[in-house]
Structure 1
Amino acid sequence: MKSHLFRYILAMGLIVLLGACQRGKEEKSGIRFLSHGTNASCPYITRDTAGNTVVSWVENDSISNKGVMYYAVTNDDGYTFSEPRKIGATMGVYPHDENLPKLLFKPNGTIIALFGMEQHDARNKYAGKVMYAQSFDNGLHWEAPMPLVTDTTGYDQRYFDMALLPDGEAAAIWLDNRKETAAEGSTLYFARTSGNAGFQAAKPVVETVCQCCRTKLLVDKKGVIHIVYRDIINDSIRDMVHQTSADGGNSFSAPVRISADNWVVNGCPHTGPTLVANDHGLHFAWFTMGHGKGVFYCQSTDNGNTYTQKESLSTAPMAKHPQMTIDKKGEVYITWDEPVKVGNDFNSRIAFLHKSVDGRTLDSQAITADSTWCSYPVLGALQEGILVVFKQRVGNGTAIAYGIMEH
């Protein structure tokens, strides 16, 4: 039974928090925050040190017309959001919805913004550069951005992720051109911060990773580091692979496929995996066109030694870009975008699925209208309900929209 109620609002135009101060807490509806311009993208959800939900995104600066990161915070469980805060140190960020800029809040008050820029390197016209900026006073001031990689042989870094380690430091992974093999693919690197000195001691983890799919980094309750990515196997198969580290990233287990999809494709799908962990185990979702098409799910109850048979989540064969979260009970939520035919054309809608702690499907539904174009959703758990944020086409531009699934 569909037990969820979804209300979403567009965040665009020049209206700042219209009605936010007038609205009581009788319902979670109305405008919460906005993107000032008409080219907003790359929504991302995290939490600050107080446990408040934080949403970040990218929009074009009105003066320079360059991309810049913004973020807003809710301290009342999604009823209202703060006025958007601009991170000037990220000016020039390259907006890429599969290569999301990210924020991380360290327990000591440091905030890290990790983002991609164009490299403009003759060795690869598509090359990117991963940069990061730090604030040591909870976002009041930001240090000048620094490159994640300073080695001049590293001219292409993309598809990064970031997570908080048990000791309060941050870990990052990314795809890098530096490798010791002639085989196709990028090398996945790992690094961690060292106090205010930023990211240090970068090390390669694995080679032959699909060059254009996002990576996933997760640290579970026991402090085990999990990485998931699309590997290139035997120069032709592009399947999802899982590795773990139980020693803080000093060493990683051998790569293991979460599903033997055996998808042979000569190209980059531009849609990576997602992963959450609860007391029952690990839960994965991903896109493939091997032995089935669309978004799939599996789980592992033994920390990645074995994986369940994959389960299709959507009847749409080109459903893509899955993201996951868990709520305070450990129940699992998955969202993705999928094409929907409207007349003689196609739009894109957001779908949503709710699973129990042990992975049984409880509810599945589309949560945006077929008449709109919505894509690249992300999820975050509130105290009551699940926050869904996504990009929506509005006129000739794009805006950030969000809503809350209540049950």
Structure 2
Amino acid sequence: MLSGELLDGPRLPTLIHDLALLNSLGIKLVLVHGARPQISARLAESDIESTFEQHMRITDSAALDSVVAAVGALRLKLEGLFSMGLANSPMHNASIRLISGNFVVAKPVGVRGGFDYQHTGEVRRIDVDAIRQQLGNGNVVLLSPVGGSPTGELFNVNAEEVASTAAIALGADKLIIMGEHLRLADPQGHLVRELSPQQAGKLLAGDQYENNGVDRQLTAACHAASNGVARAHLLDAQVDGALIKELFTRDGCGTLVTRETYETLRGARIEDVGGILELIEPLEEDGTLVRRSRELLENEIQRFAIIERDGMVIACAALYPFPEEKTGELACVAVHSSYRKGERGAQVLGYLERRAREQGLHSLFVLTTLTAHWFQQQGFEAAGVEALPGARQSLYNWQRNSKVFVKGL
């Protein structure tokens, strides 16, 4: 979904190029456009006052003419942009067909709270079969915020509702909502990168986003994520290349609303061996970790815990228990260089500490050459080699001369 504000902005042609790229990769696209500022401008030109209730514009017969004119103009504008084919441009020989039609079936909102919404409507259903037929032909489908009814009337519908309802009905992999300055931030001003529908609902219960349009967009994302759409994304179109960055980089640049866990802390499985090897290889090369072969890792994989981020292992550690001495060795602690500011090492350590307690261990020890300060920050205290279990003392590498640290559980 592209917000109405975005359709009047300077970044729209570049965004169309990005959509053309996605289409060329075989990605099936349904494009929903907003029209709120354009409708307001048309109404102002006609000296018709806009009245809103519950974020919905009350649309009488005179206002409907302005709605139809604004939406029709935007459809033609988008058709023109998708028809670009200039040589030496990203759209050269693109030959993209943008198909619009009566895919949105609407019904009247009716009278609510004493207000007659007249030609303001809600989505009754989406013509899924017709849309899929067009997608199967390689076309991009365009849905507008105007729907027809079985009685032949037209209704002004909410673009965010069209987007979320269509995503759910089509079983879309993603709902992507783009707007001008569409950015969710925490109290410190940092971008909120991931939300569950429940967390999104708590945000909506406050008044932080009530009057800037973000509430409508977040509501749509939450609705989709709660009804079968795996991931809903909120993107700020002011970020250059936002769409491509969100889809093709691991961390993206917007806010993801999903019921799935994007980052998981869990015990390692045999299929994680390759990811662990890739993670620890740089640390083995610089001497931080002792080298481990694939065969050794496969045999000891049950000792490991990992943090997986969207299919990539970004942190790991292993626990080797010594039951007779009621202690365990913490080993192979590694965090990917791009994720070392998020306390992930401490999270894996906490996970293995819980596992150690469950096994009846009373302490953990670690041998390290380069990360002594970090382990001290986690509550480990310096000790001598004599503090190690006898079996581990006999394997101590005096050439490596690792420092020993111990932590009581």
TM-score normalised according to structure 2 size: 0.23
Higher relative contact order (CA closer than 8 Å, sequence separation 6+): 1
Mark the structure with the bigger radius of gyration.
2
